[in-house]
Structure 1
Amino acid sequence: MFLTFFKIGAFTFGGGFAMIPIIQREVVEKKNWIKDEEFIDTISIAQSAPGPVAVNSSIFVGYKIDGLKGAIICTVGTVLPSFFIILFIAVFFTQFKNNPLFEEIFLGIRPVVVALIFSAVYKLITKAHLGYKDLVIAIIAMLTIVIFNVTPIYVIVVGVALRVIYNKFKNKE
């Protein structure tokens, strides 16, 4: 578990969202530790909980596999590579920050990170088996966040409340 999440943490640039397709490939497809549906739920919970998505996801997966010990092992595996990279950058980056080669490297990484995030969104949509109503709700939620700059927490709370109300009326019929 440690090595799997260490690898995920070490080879992912762009933060938690860029890690999602890599976590999915390792945890769902290669290791079969959790199912697709559980992975989608994991991402939903990880996104709505405080903290980075990748760390929250590793906590959930680790706990599912081996309880508290698994959660700690997976979390340390996820965080340790970033710690070492940040430490390295803090020590050596000031010497290279104006180097054109490093500027080009970071400019080259940006579009790849965007592609990783879009890839994660695409995989989540296709694996979630959303109906047309669900897709419309997802698009409205996204537009609310992007256009009106509403915090995702409010969008999640409203979504949960509306679903509960909808189910109450539906069950009465």
Structure 2
Amino acid sequence: MIWLELFLTFLKIGAFTFGGGYAMLPLIQSEVERHGWLTQAEVVDFIAVSESTPGPLAINMATFIGIRTGGIFGAVCATFGVVLPSFVVILIVAKFYEKFRKSRVVDGVMFGLRPAVIGLIGAAFLSVGMTVFFPNGLKSAVFSNAGLWTSLGIFTAGAVLAFRKVHPIVIIAVSAVMGIAAGYAMEL
């Protein structure tokens, strides 16, 4: 039964990842590929869609994957599964917050989780980056591909714009022009 499978899969994802949606990406990717719900390229597409829609990344991913594999009820099951662990933890923390607020053990656990969260976000970055920039693997022919150089140019321009005091509308307009030019360049 796909609905139970969606719920349990996303319950596991929600329960065993800390640090938000980006930290969940490696686990989401491995689970949906293992179940055969999405390919690696489709996961990257779903990340782009999830980022461009309002709401948290993990919830959007769960909803999109759930609706694609199990319809409306699949979306509800996947979304409820990914949200339930955090909801329960927040309820427990709220109940005992005053008692453990100054606990050295709790501080130590939270401090120890930071490197794990950074590692998970780094793994997501590498996984998505490899899929986007090197879909056929890392080969020397990749460096002669216009798409890689166009993407690096867009990234460089975006980094320059991000660290300078530029109005957001200008950033959006310049990004749109670069994206359109990149699309035409890749067709050549």
Give your verdict on TM over 0.5.
yes
Moved more, 99-108 or 158-167: 158-167
The CA distance in 2 between the partners of 1:72 and 1:126, in whole Å, is 31
The CA distance in 2 between the partners of 1:152 and 1:20, in whole Å, is 27
**When the two structures are superposed, what TM-score results if normalisation uses the length of structure 2?**
0.79
SS of equivalent to 2:17: coil
Q: Which residue, out of 175, 182, 185, partners 1:159?
A: 175
Q: Which residue of 2 aligns with 1:141?
A: 158
Q: Which residue, out of 69, 74, 80, partners 2:78?
A: 74
Q: Which residue of 2 aligns with 1:12?
A: 17
The alpha-carbon distance between structure 1 residues 125 and 168, as it changes in their structure 2 partners (threshold 3 A), is closer
Which ranges in structure 2 are unaligned for 5 or more consecutive residues? 1-5, 135-147
TM-superposed CA distance for 1:129, in Å, is 3.1
Q: How does 1:23-172 map to 2 (within 5 A)?
A: 23-28=28-33, 30-129=34-133, 131-142=148-159, 144-145=161-162, 147-148=163-164, 159-164=175-180, 167=183
Aligned alpha-carbon RMSD (Å): 2.8
- Indicate if the aligned counterparts of 1:9 and 1:81 stay in contact, CA closer than 8 A: yes
Which ranges in structure 1 are unaligned for 5 or more consecutive residues? none
Pair member with larger Rg: 2
Moved more, 13-22 or 126-135: 126-135
The alpha-carbon distance between structure 1 residues 155 and 15, as it changes in their structure 2 partners (threshold 3 A), is farther
The CA distance in 1 between the partners of 2:166 and 2:14, in whole Å, is 30
- Indicate if the aligned counterparts of 1:48 and 1:153 stay in contact, CA closer than 8 A: no
SS of equivalent to 1:98: coil
TM-superposed CA distance for 1:132, in Å, is 2.5
Moved more, 161-170 or 125-134: 161-170
Q: Identity of counterpart residues, as a percentage?
A: 36
- Indicate if the aligned counterparts of 1:48 and 1:156 stay in contact, CA closer than 8 A: no
